[in-house]
Amino acid sequence: MRIGLYQFAPEFGAVERNLERIGKALRGEAADLWVLPELATTGYLFADRAECARLAEPVPGPSTEALAALCRARGTRVVAGLAERAGERLYNAAVYIGPDGVVGLYRKVHLFDRERLCFDPGPDPFRVHELDRFRLGLMICFDWLFPEAARSLALQGADLIAHPANLVLPYCQAAMVTRALENGVACATCNRVGAERRAGEELSFTGRSQVLDARGRCLGQAPAEGEETLVVEVDLDLSRDKRITERNDRLGDRRPDLYFSGR
Ligand code: ACM
């Protein structure tokens, strides 16, 4: 399967311009599934919850309709991060969109730092979606720090984890190698680049978007700075083989009866 990443610096608050840039980028090389950054339509650093509410959209809504139209025109699928308004609730969400519209919605479970001031934590369990004959899992950025997120998706048969991100800490790209390896799942992290200076804060984003196969091998990585489209061929059948030696299976050897759930 050909996986495309579009690493860019979304312009804060400029939803239409960001969608235009996404449209232009996806008109280049062909991919079966594109992964875009977290909050790709709005930018990241909301001043407060009221500003977030003004920029957030329902799902489905205008941005998901625009992305579905792009999927129809390009014969592809897209996973994109966006700010979702659902009644009074605001979610940092990832949508999985195909030519017919929204296929899957994930609301970020582990909110990072100031996100806690603007968003509600996602209330739903991690789940997987059909992607041709494979299964797709969704997680967002800081979810990388919680191995339970990727493991929950792997235990439901995820072959690929699409991972929109706005990373500011330097650890994730290396840590995701372990997420891929311990679960035997391909992982596509699409990070953003650039900086945002808003609400008395400044954040720089770390780029280095990457695609890992189910053995944790890096099949392609974008630079730390600068806009980049990266399209790589990933063998998702590899995710179906969980053996690590003749006698060991990543998921089958687990001993959940001996693990402490923390509850
Ligand atoms: C993050 O979760 N955006 C760091």
| C-alpha span between 190 and 207 (Å, rounded) | 8
pLDDT digits (tens, 9 = 90+) for 176-231: 999 999 999 999 999 999 999 998 999 999 999 999 999 999 999 999 999 999 99
pLDDT digits (tens, 9 = 90+) for 21-79: 999 999 999 999 999 999 999 999 999 999 999 999 999 999 999 999 999 999 999 99
CA-to-CA dists, residue 90 to 18, 59, 80, 105, 201, angstroms: 20, 11, 16, 13, 21
Q: What would the DSSP string read from start to end of 75-105?
A: T-EEEEEEEEEETTEEEEEEEEEETTEEEEE
Residue with tokens 């929204």: 102
Asked whether residue 94 is assigned to any structural domain, the reply reads yes
Asked whether residue 263 is assigned to any structural domain, the reply reads no
Asked whether residue 192 is assigned to any structural domain, the reply reads yes
Residue type for position 192? R
Asked whether residue 116 is assigned to any structural domain, the reply reads yes
Nearest atom in ligand 1 to the alpha carbon of residue 111 is: 2
Asked whether residue 237 is assigned to any structural domain, the reply reads yes
Asked whether residue 213 is assigned to any structural domain, the reply reads yes
Cα 246 to averaged position of ligand 1 atoms, centre (Å): 38
Cα 255 to averaged position of ligand 1 atoms, centre (Å): 31
Q: How many domains does the chain have?
A: 1
CATH classification of the domain holding 236? 3.60.110.10
CA-to-CA dists, residue 233 to 9, 60, 217, angstroms: 25, 30, 13
Asked whether residue 244 is assigned to any structural domain, the reply reads yes
Q: Which residues form the domain of 222?
A: 2-258
**Ligand 1 pocket test target in 38, 45, 191 with most atoms within 8 Å of CB:** 38
Residue pair 121/93 in contact by the 8 Å Cβ criterion: no
Quick one: how far is CA 233 from the chain centroid? 18
Cα 197 to averaged position of ligand 1 atoms, centre (Å): 16
Asked whether residue 155 is assigned to any structural domain, the reply reads yes
